[in-house]
Chain A
Amino acid sequence: MKMYELDQRIAEQLTEVSLNSSIQVRCGNSNAFMVTASTMIPLMQMFEMGGVYICATRGAVEIIEAFEAIGVDVSNIQFVDLVSSGILGGTEVPYNNITFVDSPIMLESVLLRTLYILRISNNERNFVLIDSVNALAIYNEERMLAEYLHTFINTFRQREVLSVILNIPDQVPPTVLSNLDLYCTDLIDRGQVVIH
């Protein structure tokens, strides 16, 4: 089993957010999974939340396996995979908590699919996590992405679903980044990675 040292300060910070918060999580290339896990694990285990994980960076299977590798069960999390439909055979997966959207450009479909999952969810408290703004920015025009994040955050804020938006700041278009600063209520900043 691969060992990860989780960032406990993220868990502490999460105790201060409410369900209708929207958290911008900034990370770097090298610490992305550690930061994601440090955010997800307290939400699942400390706060007993269910959630929807929107995978735009990597396929859902890879993410589930990464969590399994550190001994974390994510079977209570639903994954919306925007990557694997672009790969022939990518949607034949051994997990039943993954649904697929054809492409990261189908932003409205992603929102509706997430809303659908939340409608059928039995969890009282939920989060939605976008992994990541950078990956969405590959396919989507800046203005549209900024508009989408605005809609997305407000949609879930209204429904008292915690939104977590993962991004690597130096790879996000400046207008999108400044808009995120405006929309999000909280910031977890692990964007600067010190390499010893």
Chain B
Amino acid sequence: MQPATVYTRDRCITGIHGMDEILRGGIPYGSTVLAAGTCGSGKTTLGMEFLVRGALAGEACAHFTATEPSVKLLENIRQYAFFDMNMIDSGLINVFDMDVLYSWLGLDKASFDLDDVHALIKAIVDIVNTIGVTRLVIDSVTTLCYKIKSEQLIRDFLFTLGKKLATLGCTTILISEITSATENAHWSSFGVEEAIADGIIVMGDVERMGHLLRFLQVVKMRGTSHSRAKHAIELTPLGVMLTPMLKWGAVSDKTNRWGA
């Protein structure tokens, strides 16, 4: 008897130490993944390493930064041995300041309406399409969505953006900032990002006797089986490194779910 043929979706191999094992081979190609984490949990480093590993494989990558200016972002990321400034110079990694993009689009305003949101989506998609981007990081979608006042509009924005990027074959990481205030309900700031995303990676801290240990947990990833265990993270010069968190040490000393 021949074994049944199992269909496996093409994967975007992240190249991040341990990550592809957790995802049983990588992120399903074209997915929109929400990387939700508390401050200092390693979201930006994870996102940047995702792009660098792609660039090393010859993929065109883009990073939209809304939380810090690109100059500052690059200065911070240069300390990592995995990063090479030539990737920026050669156009393999393209970093865009959202503030600059807003200016180009004439969106220097406190809040966005439907037309503004559509203009923003079109601009991002055009950039992705023009450059042929296959890996995209938006850091952070939380900062970006602060300008979108309606929950429905945020949902539309993320859904449409995700759909268009998937059509272009672009695997996207949307970085989302969460705090302990959101611990009981959501892995996102607005409560809608998680419903739209194909995958959710939660990052945070476990407090153990006054020390914070970074962790990462893949909560959801459509199109692949994956580990749902908590993994400890270390940010090394070679990039993110992961190991399963000790079962007897995976819960914070405090009762809260995602750490302090």
B246 touches which one: A102, A103, A151, A155 (CB < 8 A)?
A: A151
Cβ–Cβ contact A106 & B241, under 8 A? no
Cβ–Cβ contact B234 & A109, under 8 A? yes
Interface: A144 (CB within 8 A): yes
A74 CB, min distance to chain B CBs, angstroms: 23
Given A112-B236, A119-B238, A147 and B209 contact (CB-CB distance below 8 Å): no
List residues 202-246 of chain B with CB under 8 A from any CB of chain A.
Answer: 208-209, 211, 213, 232-234, 236, 238, 241-246
B232 CB, min distance to chain A CBs, angstroms: 3
Query: Which residue of chain A is the closest to B241 with respect to CB atoms?
Result: A112
Q: Considering the chains assembled together, what is the distance between the CA atoms of A119 and B82 in angstroms?
A: 13
Interface: A72 (CB within 8 A): no
Cβ–Cβ contact A112 & B211, under 8 A? no
Cβ–Cβ contact B232 & A108, under 8 A? yes
Cβ–Cβ contact B248 & A144, under 8 A? yes
Query: Which residue of chain A is the closest to B215 with respect to CB atoms?
Result: A108
B249 touches which one: A107, A112, A119 (CB < 8 A)?
A: A107
Cβ–Cβ contact A109 & B236, under 8 A? no
Please report whether the interface of chain B is mostly helix, strand, loop or mixed according to DSSP. strand
Given A108-B213, A111-B243, A120 and B248 contact (CB-CB distance below 8 Å): no
A51 CB, min distance to chain B CBs, angstroms: 19
Q: Considering the chains assembled together, what is the distance between the CA atoms of A106 and B232 in angstroms?
A: 10
Query: Which residue of chain A is the closest to B233 with respect to CB atoms?
Result: A112
Residues on the B chain within 8 Å of A105, using CB: 208-209, 211
Cβ–Cβ contact A107 & B246, under 8 A? yes
B217 CB, min distance to chain A CBs, angstroms: 14
Given A113-B234, A141-B248, A143-B248, A106 and B211 contact (CB-CB distance below 8 Å): yes
Interface: B247 (CB within 8 A): yes
Q: Considering the chains assembled together, what is the distance between the CA atoms of A147 and B247 in angstroms?
A: 8
Please report whether the interface of chain A is mostly helix, strand, loop or mixed according to DSSP. helix
Cβ–Cβ contact A147 & B246, under 8 A? yes
Q: Considering the chains assembled together, what is the distance between the CA atoms of A119 and B236 in angstroms?
A: 11
Query: Which residue of chain B is the closest to A108 with respect to CB atoms?
Result: B232
Interface: A115 (CB within 8 A): yes
List residues 159-215 of chain B with CB under 8 A from any CB of chain A.
Answer: 208-209, 211, 213
Interface: A148 (CB within 8 A): yes
Query: Which residue of chain B is the closest to A146 with respect to CB atoms?
Result: B248
Cβ–Cβ contact A144 & B246, under 8 A? yes
Cβ–Cβ contact B246 & A148, under 8 A? yes
Cβ–Cβ contact A139 & B209, under 8 A? yes
List residues 137-190 of chain A with CB under 8 A from any CB of chain B.
Answer: 139, 141, 143-144, 147-148, 151, 155
Q: Considering the chains assembled together, what is the distance between the CA atoms of A110 and B245 in angstroms?
A: 12
- Give 14 pairs: A residue, B residue, CB < 8 Å, sorted on A: A105-B208, A106-B208, A107-B246, A108-B243, A109-B232, A111-B232, A112-B234, A112-B242, A116-B234, A119-B238, A144-B248, A144-B249, A148-B246, A151-B246
Q: Which B residues form the contact surface with A (CB < 8 A)?
A: 208-209, 211, 213, 232-234, 236, 238, 241-249
Q: Which A residues form the contact surface with B (CB < 8 A)?
A: 102-103, 105-109, 111-113, 115-116, 119-120, 139, 141, 143-144, 147-148, 151, 155
Beyond A109-B234, A111-B243, 11 additional contacts (C-beta under 8 Å) are A103-B209, A108-B234, A108-B249, A111-B232, A112-B232, A115-B241, A116-B238, A139-B209, A141-B248, A144-B248, A144-B249
